[in-house]
Chains A and B, each alone.
Chain A
Amino acid sequence: MPVCEAVRARAERVLDLVAGAGASGDLIVSEGTSLSFKARDGELEEHKVSSSRIFGVRVLKDDRAGIAYSEASDGEALRSMVAQAITNASFARSDPDERILDHDGILATDDALLCPTDDTSLEEKIDAALAIERRLAARAKVKNVPYNGVLDVAGDRHVFSTAGLRAHSRSRVCSAWAYALLEDGDRNVLDGTSRAARRFAELDIDAIVDETHARCLALIDGEAVPSRRYDVAFDIECQSALFGVFAMMFSAKAARDGVNPMRDKVGEAVADGALNVCDSPRRSDGLRYTLFDDEGTATKTVRLIDAGRLATLAHSSATAAHFGLDPTGHGVRSPRGPLGVGVHQLNIEAGRESETALASGEYLEIVDLTGLHSGANPVSGDFSFGAAGFLCRDGERRRPVRNVTVAGNFYEMLKRIAAIGDVERWNAARSSLMARIRFADVAISG
């Protein structure tokens, strides 16, 4: 394809400059287009389109790494980028563990799967945005739908290295969302839902409308419950967000840097024995499906917690070399950043408890968490969030709950698992696949 050839030619020039400076290196080129619409009062409020391209180089010279990036792709900009990276490397610490892997050859993913052709027209996408807002606005008690929209993002990602790696992947994600404000006398609530898929036509607009309205109606009369300890079951969105906030516990880079409290606990029990967690990057029904990481290392299913024991951390080549292990296919790098470590598709495996058993007796079902970015400390494990949900008994929602906080220590909470459900579900972004967990004895303040 002409675009790929143009990128490839520029990449070869960049890598020639790197090699000419006596260094090794890799280059990530990320290209993308996006299209989005938002509606307001029955009309299109915002229409946004974009096209972008960024080059990001990492050089290794004398065991020192330097990075630089450029959104300009003319010859002078790319020469300047390489020169900056070489200069930056001269100030960095010596780290013999970080190197360019000997991967060569061509790697590619299945474009037809990850970036399917979608013949949904512009008009149909606009109609979808308008329909979400119009249908929700017509529902009972809905004052307005201040946050709504549809988005179609497609991108190409290339990784080139001086060792000869030529990797390319293409992806597409379509999404739609709606957050409605409901009012009933003095009471109000703002809540919503979203969906994501690879084809626009797979987005279930009716489900977004129905689910958003149902959530808001169910929560609007919510009140605080007395402060004490409850059993708590998060919905899949909240549970996925919670594990995401504390994902550093699986990072070998954080362990190497001395900030991961799990750094000396591989092989030890860190959770209840019923908990099994793995990374499943090759589940193609997830939207973070990937066959290779950003160093070109093949991905595979990696068991992270096995029957409550920390089985391994997630490794890039650099952390693996540091700990004397093999890379696990978790090297991640954005064009703007250094080599890091990241989990692709976190999977909490189904447990033995039926959904009915999971919901036995009294518990608090939490369906909304606020303050996730500020109320958690992954180093200590301490957290405190605003929360909303339902006080339940035997699977039945007895009363809506709002204006409460949920607090504790996440790493301690993993040891107080009362039950794990036997059904795995994707979150709305289809980035993590989880069975629901019921945690025992969690502090709720109201």
Chain B
Amino acid sequence: MIESRTARSVIDHAVSLGADFVDLFVERNQVNEISTLSGEVQDIGSGIDFGIGVRLVYGTRVLYGFTNRTGAQELERIVSDLAAKDRRDPATSARSFDYRDVPDVHRARRTLARDPETENKATWLLAADRSARAASNLVAQARGSCAQREQAVEIFNSEGLHVRDTRHYVRARLTAIAADGSEQATGTATEGGLKGWEIAEAVDPEETGAEAARQALVNLSARPCPSGRLPVVIGSGFGGVIFHEACGHLLETTSVAKKASVFHDRMGDMIANPVVSAVDDGTLVREWGSINVDDEGMATERTQLIRDGRLVGFLADRIGSEQTGYPRTGSGRRQSYAFAPASRMRNTFIEPGEDRFEDMIASIGRGIYAARMGGGSVQPGTGEFNFAVTEGYFVEDGRVRYPVKAATLISTGPDVLKRISMVGNDSALATGMCGSVSGAVPVTVGQPTLKVDEILVGGNA
């Protein structure tokens, strides 16, 4: 996307100012988005983001600049501005680029560059829309959206690395709104992956619409949620957000290096119930959080984080690795050229256990079944996290009784990991976007259904 001699010139300039390490991240991001409402196409947009991020490292100090004015002169000006306070005699010399072809294990067929397929996407979304509104007279509205993007990246660094990668993302979503008098409730079904529009061949829009309507109708009938410290069974798939928030962020060297994670000095310790083993895996074929190489040019990998309750791994980018001494894991990620890379999760999940859903529910006297989760957040320094229940049920005397609404679960990572007492065998993954220091990146969360013996449920009953 830029000529090697331009990259060479910028990196040589930075090295001449004494930088220990320099890299360039060049990105061209093509986007196509379509939204539907009330059985009609509402908005269609498309565009191209293009820019370059340049990172200079002096010791462990990171200097970062970006621009979408891409001439060598502008890039060298940014480098000079960045290095103004740190410039010194050259400590190293830049190596010649050694271009490395990256095998694409997530090849897409129906790509955005080939054809945006606007009409096909509209047809798919409108079929889902019809299906949702046909489910019940109470479904008053349906909103659909499909976003496809093709992110081409090229990475150069002063150690001679030169790689290119292209990532194809697609995500389709339908939200149904059910109304009864002044009461309104929503339900959302989402499909997506590191794929092209061939996703439409595998996903039935009518099922997507029906699922969104089902959730909206359940939530419309939901009662206020009981509150207090209760046992909770958390459903598979997006329920994995509990591990993402409760533990995953605390295992990123972004937090570990600053000692801003409660787990920063716990490597090798038992931090979870022995039934818990957890993995972050960037290699899963065509999964939403997968990559061929990370945004520092390193081939990604599978990283065991917790094995049988014991902490065995952190997620490390280049700087995090240098600061903590833990090996890089191909986890250096960023939203775009506007962000310096940081250690980030990819596809993170709790591995399956042997317990049955029925046994988990039967073990509860009074509690909650959180069938579907929304997003959440965490403070790594204290481990305090929260996440929202988007489809929940009250459980009493070992039976699922009735749907409940507006519930948040809060706890701390160290506490909840020890209170996971049962892990099912129905593993599933779900797509999400994760926001952190290097922006919003696609991640997969996942887990089998599991039971937490006690967690604070915030309800309105």
Residues on A with C-beta less than 8 A from B457 are 405, 445
Shortest C-beta distance, A169 to chain B (Å), equals 21
Is there contact, CB below 8 Å, between B65 and A371?
no
Closest to B407 in A: A384
Is there contact, CB below 8 Å, between A445 and B37?
no
Kindly count the residue-residue contacts between A and B in the assembled complex, taking CB atoms under 8 Å apart. Answer: 244
Q: Which of B196-204, B254-262, B301-309 contacts A (4 or more CB under 8 A)?
A: B254-262
Shortest C-beta distance, B319 to chain A (Å), equals 10
Is there contact, CB below 8 Å, between A258 and B141?
yes
Residues on B with C-beta less than 8 A from A85 are 46
Is there contact, CB below 8 Å, between B387 and A371?
yes
Q: Is B69 an interface residue (CB 8 A)?
A: yes
Picked from B62, B119, B186, the residue with its CB within 8 Å of the CB of A377 is: B186
Tell me which residues from 131 to 150 in chain A have a Cβ below 8 Å from any Cβ of chain B.
143-144, 146-147
- Taken together as a complex, chains A and B put the C-alpha atoms of A338 and B145 apart, in Å, by 14
Is there contact, CB below 8 Å, between A49 and B65?
yes
Is there contact, CB below 8 Å, between A382 and B50?
no
- Chain A interface SS verdict (over half): strand
Picked from B259, B380, B386, the residue with its CB within 8 Å of the CB of A371 is: B386
A253-290 Cβ-contact flags toward B at 8 Å (1 or 0): 00001110100000000000000000000000000000
Q: Which of B80-88, B89-97, B277-285, B364-372 contacts A (4 or more CB under 8 A)?
A: B80-88
Picked from A68, A407, A446, the residue with its CB within 8 Å of the CB of B460 is: A407
Is there contact, CB below 8 Å, between B118 and A91?
yes
Residues on B with C-beta less than 8 A from A44 are 61, 85
- Taken together as a complex, chains A and B put the C-alpha atoms of A126 and B381 apart, in Å, by 25
Residues on B with C-beta less than 8 A from A188 are 262, 381-382
- Taken together as a complex, chains A and B put the C-alpha atoms of A284 and B74 apart, in Å, by 35
Residues on B with C-beta less than 8 A from A375 are 374, 386, 388, 408
Residue with the highest number of chain B CB atoms closer than 10 Å, among A146, A337, A383: A146
Is there contact, CB below 8 Å, between A47 and B82?
yes
Residues on B with C-beta less than 8 A from A66 are 44-45
Q: Which of A70-78, A294-302, A306-314, A341-349 contacts B (4 or more CB under 8 A)?
A: A70-78
Q: Which of B5-13, B177-185, B292-300, B423-431 contacts A (4 or more CB under 8 A)?
A: B177-185
Question: Would A50 and B44 be within 8 Å (CB), given that A382-B460, A383-B406 are in contact?
Answer: no
Closest to B65 in A: A49
Is there contact, CB below 8 Å, between A91 and B122?
yes
Q: Interface extent on B, as a size class?
A: 35 or more
B29-49 Cβ-contact flags toward A at 8 Å (1 or 0): 000001001101111111111
- Taken together as a complex, chains A and B put the C-alpha atoms of A336 and B78 apart, in Å, by 26
Closest to A370 in B: B386
Is there contact, CB below 8 Å, between A92 and B42?
yes
Residues on A with C-beta less than 8 A from B42 are 92-93, 257
- Taken together as a complex, chains A and B put the C-alpha atoms of A311 and B3 apart, in Å, by 58
Picked from A122, A257, A409, the residue with its CB within 8 Å of the CB of B406 is: A409
- Taken together as a complex, chains A and B put the C-alpha atoms of A91 and B68 apart, in Å, by 30
Is there contact, CB below 8 Å, between A371 and B38?
no
Shortest C-beta distance, A42 to chain B (Å), equals 12
- Taken together as a complex, chains A and B put the C-alpha atoms of A257 and B260 apart, in Å, by 43
Q: Is A209 an interface residue (CB 8 A)?
A: no
Residue with the highest number of chain B CB atoms closer than 10 Å, among A126, A190, A371: A371
Picked from B45, B183, B260, B459, the residue with its CB within 8 Å of the CB of A88 is: B45
- Taken together as a complex, chains A and B put the C-alpha atoms of A71 and B28 apart, in Å, by 10
Closest to A80 in B: B48
Is there contact, CB below 8 Å, between A68 and B459?
no
Q: Is B228 an interface residue (CB 8 A)?
A: yes
Residues on B with C-beta less than 8 A from A51 are 67-69, 74, 78
Closest to B141 in A: A258
Shortest C-beta distance, A24 to chain B (Å), equals 17
Closest to A36 in B: B64
Is there contact, CB below 8 Å, between B141 and A92?
no
Closest to A48 in B: B64
Is there contact, CB below 8 Å, between B46 and A371?
no
- Taken together as a complex, chains A and B put the C-alpha atoms of A78 and B82 apart, in Å, by 31
Picked from B65, B374, B458, the residue with its CB within 8 Å of the CB of A445 is: B458
Residues on B with C-beta less than 8 A from A146 are 255, 258-260, 380-381
Is there contact, CB below 8 Å, between B37 and A257?
yes
Question: Would A258 and B38 be within 8 Å (CB), given that A67-B45, A143-B259 are in contact?
Answer: yes
- Taken together as a complex, chains A and B put the C-alpha atoms of A72 and B26 apart, in Å, by 13
- Taken together as a complex, chains A and B put the C-alpha atoms of A72 and B69 apart, in Å, by 8
Residues on A with C-beta less than 8 A from B450 are none
- Taken together as a complex, chains A and B put the C-alpha atoms of A356 and B70 apart, in Å, by 58
Tell me which residues from 403 to 425 in chain A have a Cβ below 8 Å from any Cβ of chain B.
403-409
Q: Is B140 an interface residue (CB 8 A)?
A: yes
Q: Is B452 an interface residue (CB 8 A)?
A: no
Residues on A with C-beta less than 8 A from B158 are none
Picked from A373, A384, A409, the residue with its CB within 8 Å of the CB of B458 is: A384
Is there contact, CB below 8 Å, between B41 and A46?
no
Picked from B61, B183, B186, B259, the residue with its CB within 8 Å of the CB of A46 is: B61
Residues on B with C-beta less than 8 A from A49 are 64-65, 78, 81-82
Residues on B with C-beta less than 8 A from A431 are none
Is there contact, CB below 8 Å, between A370 and B69?
no
- Taken together as a complex, chains A and B put the C-alpha atoms of A84 and B374 apart, in Å, by 34
Q: Is B143 an interface residue (CB 8 A)?
A: yes
Is there contact, CB below 8 Å, between B68 and A52?
yes
- Taken together as a complex, chains A and B put the C-alpha atoms of A404 and B456 apart, in Å, by 8
- Taken together as a complex, chains A and B put the C-alpha atoms of A371 and B242 apart, in Å, by 13
Q: Is A393 an interface residue (CB 8 A)?
A: no
Closest to B459 in A: A407
- Taken together as a complex, chains A and B put the C-alpha atoms of A190 and B42 apart, in Å, by 43
Q: Is B454 an interface residue (CB 8 A)?
A: no
Q: Is B149 an interface residue (CB 8 A)?
A: no
Shortest C-beta distance, B432 to chain A (Å), equals 10
- Taken together as a complex, chains A and B put the C-alpha atoms of A424 and B41 apart, in Å, by 43
Q: Is A385 an interface residue (CB 8 A)?
A: yes
- Taken together as a complex, chains A and B put the C-alpha atoms of A374 and B62 apart, in Å, by 32
Q: A181-B260, A379-B184 are in contact. List 5 more A-B contacts (CB 8 A).
A: A71-B49, A91-B122, A371-B376, A375-B374, A384-B408
Identify the B interface with A (CB < 8 A).
34, 37-38, 40-51, 60-69, 74, 78, 81-82, 84-85, 118-119, 122, 140-141, 143, 177, 182-186, 219, 225, 227-228, 255, 258-260, 262, 338, 340, 374-377, 379-382, 384, 386-388, 405-408, 410, 456-461
Please list 7 pairs of residues, one from A and one from B, whose beta carbons are closer than 8 Å in the complex, sorted by A's number.
Answer: A44-B85, A45-B60, A52-B66, A92-B42, A190-B382, A371-B376, A374-B374
Closest A-B pairs by Cβ, 3 of them: A405-B458, A374-B375, A445-B227
